[in-house]
Amino acid sequence: MPDALPPRAPAPRALSGRAPSAPTGTRPALRLAIVWSLALAALVAVLLVDVRGPLELAMPRRATLVGGILVASFAHAVATVIFHTVTSNRILTPSIIGFDSMYTLMQTLTVFVFGGSAIAATDGLPKLLAQTALMVIAATALYTWLLDRSGGGVLTLLLVGVVIGLAFDSVSSFVQRILSPTDYDLLSLELFGRLSSVQPDHLPLALAVCGAVGAVVWMRRRRLDVVLLGRDGATALGVDHRRELIVALICVSVLVAFATALAGPMTFFGFLVATLAYRLAGSHKHAHVLPMAVGLGVLALAGAQLVMRHVFDAAGLVTVIIEVVGGIAFLALLLGRRRPK
């Protein structure tokens, strides 16, 4: 045991010129402060800019929008960053292993089985909870089973996830084809991210879930740093890689399920903010990268909301714009990686 180790050689004096404190201390904090000031300013602008009519009328609706922005940013940013960390991969997004597809399929089947009017009828907290629980259970069962089958291989997990996602997509599009036009219209309303029509009564629950998952992730942030070294590297330093992987994937499924059920699917948004956060955080530590990613997410969604609503008068298209920008960034990074180091 550690106490049985021989006495250490006398520690050398600190090297000249370098204070032996961590060199990354102030810079990441400063960067965070800048991004979060901008993000908060954007949120305040979303709340207050160009209010027509009495403030009391506009405020609840806009506060709901701000809540939706917070939930979507937090969920997608945190989910994507920890997903990248535990899979040792920064190209994939959680949606690649079929979360969005699962949501789409569930919605499509609901409309197919019960008819388009069923969606409106079942809207509410029970529906949101049921959807989320279903996705979490399915995802957890899938990963634990897959990890046991593949001997802990992350690549197998991802590959099967991709295939399952494609299968879900195919079933969805097949069912969508045989829907009546009215049902299809209702369905497509459900499927596109609808930040502007977030249900206010779902928000407290969603915020609470984000808080709970956030606490779990924050407590593991230093272990997640070690997981960056990969399975062998983390194991050598005494971190149970398999446990971190499963905990992270459950967190990812909870976050993505809630965000998707609340604000619709967003494929590239998480990827966009995570990739930017790696560049801008000025540190590899999750303690810096995670808040940076969330801040950038808030800034992007709130900024896009402002521009779309007040410049182009098309607030509903916010997520479409985010996805276009995110998709282009994704392609740029993918192709950029082809260059030799």
- Closest distance of CB 170 from another protein, Å: 31
Cα 91 to Cα 181, 272, 329: the distances in Å are 37, 10, 11
Scanning 40-48, 231-239, 251-259, 332-340 for contacts with another protein by CB under 8 A, the matching segment is 231-239
Q: Which of residues 262-321 bind another protein (CB under 8 A)?
A: 278, 284
- Closest distance of CB 148 from another protein, Å: 13
Region class of 266: left (phi > 0), else alpha (psi between -120 and 50), else beta: beta
219 binds another protein (CB under 8 A): no
Kindly tell me which residue out of 24, 122, 197, 199 binds another protein, with binding defined by CB under 8 A: 24
Scanning 41-49, 115-123, 224-232, 320-328 for contacts with another protein by CB under 8 A, the matching segment is 224-232
| Residue type at position 247 | V
Scanning 13-21, 112-120, 136-144, 186-194 for contacts with another protein by CB under 8 A, the matching segment is 13-21
Residue 35 structure tokens: 């991004």
Kindly tell me which residue out of 37, 89, 180, 188 binds another protein, with binding defined by CB under 8 A: 89
331 binds another protein (CB under 8 A): no
Say how far apart CA 245 and CA 146 lie, in whole Å.
12
226 binds another protein (CB under 8 A): yes
230 binds another protein (CB under 8 A): yes
Is residue 85 a contact partner of residue 224, using CB atoms and an 8 Å limit?
yes
Show Cβ contacts of residue 216 under 8 Å, excluding neighbours closer than 6 positions: 247, 251
| Residue type at position 272 | L
* CB nearer another protein, residue 105 or residue 296: 296
181 binds another protein (CB under 8 A): no
Neighbours of 277 (CB within 10 A): 24
Question: Hunting for tokens 């939930």 — which residue is that?
Answer: 71
250 binds another protein (CB under 8 A): no
225 binds another protein (CB under 8 A): yes
Q: Which of residues 102-161 bind another protein (CB under 8 A)?
A: none
Q: Which of residues 151-180 bind another protein (CB under 8 A)?
A: none
Residues that bind another protein (rule: CB under 8 A) add up to a total of 39
Neighbours of 230 (CB within 10 A): 13
Q: Render the burial of 265-276: b for 16+ CB within 10 Å, e for the rest.
A: bbbbbbbbbbbb
In this structure, the dihedral spanned by the alpha carbons of residues 97, 328, 256 and 291, taken in order and rounded to 10 degrees, is 120
Beta-carbon-side half-sphere exposure of residue 35 (alpha carbons within 13 Å): 26
Beta-carbon-side half-sphere exposure of residue 293 (alpha carbons within 13 Å): 29
201 binds another protein (CB under 8 A): no
* CB nearer another protein, residue 164 or residue 228: 228
Residues near another protein, by CB under 8 A = 1-2, 4-6, 8-9, 11-12, 14-15, 18, 20-24, 84, 88-90, 222-223, 225-226, 228-230, 232-233, 235-240, 278, 284, 341
